Structure 1
Amino acid sequence: MAFQSYHFLVFFITVFLLVRVVLKNHHEAKKNCLLAASYYFYMCWDWRFAGLIFSITLINYVTGRLIKQADETAGKKLWLGVSLISSLSILAYFKYANFFIESFNGLLIGLGLEPSVPLLSVILPVGISFYTFQSISYSLDIYRNRLEPVSSLRDFSLFVAFFPQLVAGPIVRASHFLPQLDKSFKEEIKNPVESGTALILRGFIKKIAIADVLAVHIVDPAFASPSDYSPLFLMIGLYAYSYQVYMDFSGYTDIARGAARCLGYDLQINFDRPYKATSIGNFWQRWHISMSSFFRDYLFHGLGGSRYGNVYFNLFITFVAIGIWHGAGWNFVAYGVCHASLVMYERWQLNRRKRAGLGVKEYTGLHWVWRVFWIFTIVSLTRVLFRGGTLSDAYAYMEAMGNWSNTHTPLGPLALMTLIVAIALHYTPSQWTYEWKAVYCRLNSWVQSGVIVATLFVILALTTGTAPFIYFQF
């Protein structure tokens, strides 16, 4: 059930009316309704997925309680191990089994032997990476004494399956969401329905009016046949893809946060103007924050962080894991290795400055502009591995970028205008975003309705189809 489908529109309006009107004063019934709606939402993708998400939910609910009840550290580690091994094994089977089989068969072929292991007939469940990590973070937080286990299986199931963020995040921490399910919890957001609607509209504009247009007019043609285009067009294609994936994913996050807010729940911010980063490390602090902070808190710090062991080794493992999290392919491994190498180099530079008695380097004025552009260019170049499909596809794209005899640069006015708008929206001050949302919330309800209708009209006029959100594949 895609967000941009009429099915979701009818579904969400129905759930909203039930939760906000019919069951407004019936706390337990409201949670039952949301849980049933969330499972229905997920089963619309494939009814068999319901058993999978419930299995992961039940494993971590039970092991979370057992971790807390264990008297000794050994017992706590045992049940944490059960949680991690069980959950990650399920994830590995559905997402990585065929990758390992293909790699093993490729190794056999390289040795002159016949491949002997058949591929598995498995469907990658939508959102499995997101809700698996969300579930195991609960067990890890209990093990670290940062969280008390929840007593209600229903509440924990709703935390894992809450439909606005189920298939593509943000990865919600139990410590952030579970307290909101308590009857005594008071909403702190003013005008939740109005501000939630504003977020939803912004998300659809990002997705349909910007991301999909960039895909159709620049990105898809460039990656479909890179040898047909000039190096200039291919470089613009990489820049456009960076904005496409940002507008697509942050647009989904806006819709998810807006839908949750309309229902009375708050989800954390997942992006902070990532292309304003002045280093690769800073980029990951701004990009897909819920995922990068998960790897920072649970893997990087779990390995020892910068205090124990070799910090460069810990960074390398963490970023390779981030690469593999995005997909089962050697291109994603290479993507992780590239970013690991860049962050390790930045850490080495920082340590060298500290030894010389210097602090973190500050960038201002034109130096800041150049630094931001340079970091954005590096990020965009590495995304050829992210978008290319395979290592050979990425190589073909980069090889075509070296063919300066080709001058074919079919950059139409709509494509160029959309790219300029995407850049302008990204670099406007964050305060402007809050101000226009505040203005919308203060409008008369009839005027707000007019804004919604006008926005929907523009979206429908510009739509190029119902392309799925990019991060659904992860």
Structure 2
Amino acid sequence: MIFNSFSFLYFFPAVFILYWFFTQKYRKAQNILLLVASYYFYACWNYKFLFLLIFSTLLDYYTGLQMEKSGSIGKKRFWFWLSVLINLGFLGVFKYYNFFVSSFIDFLALFGIQGHAATLNVILPVGISFYTFHGLSYVIDIFYNRIKAEKDFVDYSVFVSFFPLLVAGPIERATHLLPQIKQDRTFDPYKAADGLRQILWGLFMKVVVADNCAMVVNEVFNHPNQYNAGSLWIGALFFAFQIYGDFAGYSNIALGTARLLGFELLKNFSFPYFSRDIAEFWRRWHISLSSWFRDYLYIPLGGSKGGLYSQLRNVLIIFLVSGLWHGANWTFIIWGGINALCFIPLVVFKLNRANTDTVAQNTFLPSVKETLQIAITFGITVIAWVFFRAINVTEAIRYLTKMFDFSRGFKPEVSLSSFGFIAVLLVVEWLHRHKNHGFELSYISQRWVRWLLYLFVFLMLLIFGVSSDTFIYFQF
């Protein structure tokens, strides 16, 4: 089941009605309803992998209890590593086994050694990277005494499998979401209205921007030899907005849906294409993942402490691991490496925290300097996205080479209609760059103006929306 499907259109109103009209006075009943709804939501994709989700939940729940009552640090460390290794083991088998096996065979071939090994013909369980990281953060926080183990199995299970965030995030922390699950919730019409606006905007980003861009992107990336440099640049540019509209659109729908149920999830995007350097981009792109790696990998490695060499080593590790998290392919690792190479100079010259405010903070338009910074950062990002989209490193290099080969001309040979949708996206988000999301219109006092904007976006969905049965980040 996906957010932009008719099945979700039936599913969520049913959950909403039962949640607020029949179980509102009973928090325990609400949480049981959320758990059942979440398992049904996940099972609609593939019910067989529901058992893997339940096993992961049971493992980390039991591990948390055992660590808390352990009488010695040795026992506590045993349960901790047992959970970590099993969780990463499942992730490794389903997501990375074939990649590491084939990479090792390719490495042996460099020395003339012919290697043979069996690969697995398995489907990657949707959302496994996300709910695994939910459980890992919970276990790590208990190990370091940041939180207490959750005694209520239903409450913990809702934390792991809450359906708005289950398959594509944001990656939540127990310190943020569990207290909300354990407290009574009352319906807030103002938050609900803002949640509906965020859902509407998320749908626009997904089915109008991302899915229209995808038609051009798929054609150009699948047949790069048939197009000139201008068309390849359009393909790369459209992919930048496809992946942004797809993933940020999903996150907006997830946050809006959760708000309708009385929950505030972690913000996952903050207008990243208005960033003035790569460091700012990563503070604004997939925020829940970036902060997860910062807190659970970068800081334990030493963070920014120690000498410059240690800092640069830690930065490189974070970006390479982030690339690998996105997919079992060298293209993702190189994508992470490109971002690391752009990030490292900022660390060397202590400029990685130079842009922590909102661009054009007190003006309507950015300065010339800010405009150049945004353009350069976006250009680097677009080029790096080519590796993210390509099926392998060879195809990525071939694509990039042809992007800079102007011998066949530069006039685009593909449809440019999506530029109009991108323009609407950029204008609306620029006007709301100080807000929590791109369609936060509560500051507009005239109701008729707000409803006119709602109608405009709704008509865009009806007229230009494209039917798509997946989200890009489901594969991660």
Q: Please give the alpha-carbon distance, in whole angstroms, between the structure 1 residues aligned to 2:318 and 2:447.
A: 46
Runs (5+) with no aligned partner, structure 2: 360-365
Corresponding residue for 2:406?
Answer: 404
Q: Deviations over 1:303-337 (max 9, x none)?
A: 11111471111111111100000000111111122
Give CA deviations for 1:83-109 in whole Å, capped at 9, x if unaligned. Answer: 211111111110001111211222343
CA deviation after TM superposition for structure 1 residue 454, in Å: 7.0
Deviations 1:390-444 (A, max 9, x none): 1011011012113211125125452332232233234334247678531689959
CA shift for structure 1 position 278: 1.8
> Hey, what's the Cα distance between the residues in 1 that align with 2:432 and 2:178?
33
Which of these residues, 434, 437, 449, is aligned with residue 441 of structure 2?
437
Q: Distance in 2 between matches of 1:367 and 1:298?
A: 35
Rounded Cα–Cα distance in structure 1 between residues aligned with 2:79 and 2:461: 49
Counterpart-to-counterpart distance in 1, 2:16 and 2:350: 50
The percentage of counterpart residues that share the same residue type is 35
Amino acid corresponding to residue 149 of structure 1 in structure 2: A
For residue 294 of structure 2, give the secondary structure of its aligned residue in structure 1: helix
1:136-191 Cα shifts (integer Å, max 9, x gaps): 1011111222211111111111110010110000001111111112244667x652
Residue aligning to 1:9: 9
CA positional deviation for 1:122: 1.2
Q: Alignment partner of 1:46: what SS?
A: helix
Distance 1:135 1:348, change over 3 A: same
* 1:43 match: 43
Match of 1:342 in 2: 342
Question: In the alignment, what sits opposite 1:313?
Answer: 313
Match of 1:356 in 2: none
- Quote the residue 2:362 is aligned against: none
Q: Which runs of 5+ in 1 are unaligned?
A: 354-358
Q: 1:422 aligned to 2:420? A: no
Once the two structures are superposed, the pairs formed by residues 124-163 of structure 1 within 5 Å of their partners are 124-163=124-163
| Contact 1:194-1:441 at 8 Å conserved across structures | no
* Conserved 8 A contact 2:280-2:355: no
1:179 paired residue number: 179
Q: Return the offset for 1:196.
A: 1.5
Distance 1:289 1:389, change over 3 A: same
Pick from 289, 292, 317: which aligns with 1:291?
289
Q: For 1:427 and 1:455, locate their aligned partners in 2 and report how far apart those are by CA, in whole Å.
A: 16
Structure 2 counterpart of 1:88: 88
Spell out structure 1 runs of 4+ moving beyond 6 A.
361-364, 439-442, 450-454
- For the 8 Å contact 2:202–2:248, the answer to whether it is kept is yes
Distance between the aligned counterparts of 2:106 and 2:348, measured in 1?
36
- With over 3 angstroms needed to count, the CA separation of the structure-2 counterparts of 1:274 and 1:348, relative to structure 1, is same
Q: What SS does the aligned partner of 2:300 have? A: helix
| Secondary structure, counterpart of 1:147 in structure 2 | coil
Aligned runs of 1:241-320 on 2, under 5 Å? 241-308=239-306, 310-320=310-320
Instruction: Report the secondary structure of 2:55's partner residue.
Output: helix
Q: Distance in 2 between matches of 1:454 and 1:316?
A: 44
Shift in CA distance, 137/441, structure 1 to aligned 2, threshold 3 Å: farther
RMSD over aligned Cα atoms = 2.6
Query: If the length of structure 1 is used for normalisation, what is the TM-score?
Result: 0.91
Q: Does the aligned pair in 2 maintain the 1:214–1:418 contact within 8 Å?
A: no
CA contact (8 A) 1:194 1:440 kept: no
Alignment match, 1:199 = 198
Secondary structure of 1:465's aligned partner: coil
CA contact (8 A) 1:195 1:441 kept: no
- Answer whether contact 1:172 1:290 (CA < 8 A) is retained: yes
Quote the Cα distance in structure 2 between the aligned partners of 1:33 and 1:169: 20
| Aligned with residue 236 of structure 1, among 213, 217, 234 | 234
Instruction: Classify 1:74/1:282 alpha carbon distance in 2 versus 1 (closer, same or farther; 3 Å).
Output: farther
**1:227 positional shift:** 2.3
Are the aligned partners of 2:335 and 2:385 in contact in 1 as well (CA < 8 Å)?
Answer: yes
Assess, with a 3 A threshold, how the Cα gap between structure 1 residues 442 and 198 changes in structure 2: closer, same or farther. Answer: farther
Distance in 2, matches of 1:440 and 1:22, equals 34
The residue type equivalent to 1:123 in the other structure is I
The answer for the alignment partner of 2:210 in structure 1 is: 211
Q: Deviations over 1:220-267 (max 9, x none)?
A: 222122222222232232222112211111110111111111112111
SS in 2 for 1:2: coil
Q: Distance in 2 between matches of 1:136 and 1:214?
A: 35
Please state whether the residue corresponding to 1:191 is helix, strand or coil.
helix
Q: How does 1:441-452 map to 2 (within 5 A)?
A: none
Distance in structure 2 (CA, Å) of the matches to 1:392 and 1:416: 29
Give the CA deviation at 1:199.
1.2
Aligned counterparts of 2:333 and 2:369: Cα–Cα separation in 1: 32
Residue 379 of structure 2 corresponds to which residue in structure 1? 377
Counterpart AA for 1:244: Q
User: Is this contact kept in 2: 1:39–1:50, CA < 8 A?
Assistant: yes
Measure, in 2, the Cα distance between the counterparts of 1:377 and 1:305: 28
Task: Report if the CA contact (8 A) 1:159-1:177 is conserved.
Answer: yes
Whole-angstrom distance in 1 between the partners of 2:27 and 2:394: 54
User: Using the alignment, how far apart are the partners of 1:115 and 1:150 within structure 2?
Assistant: 47
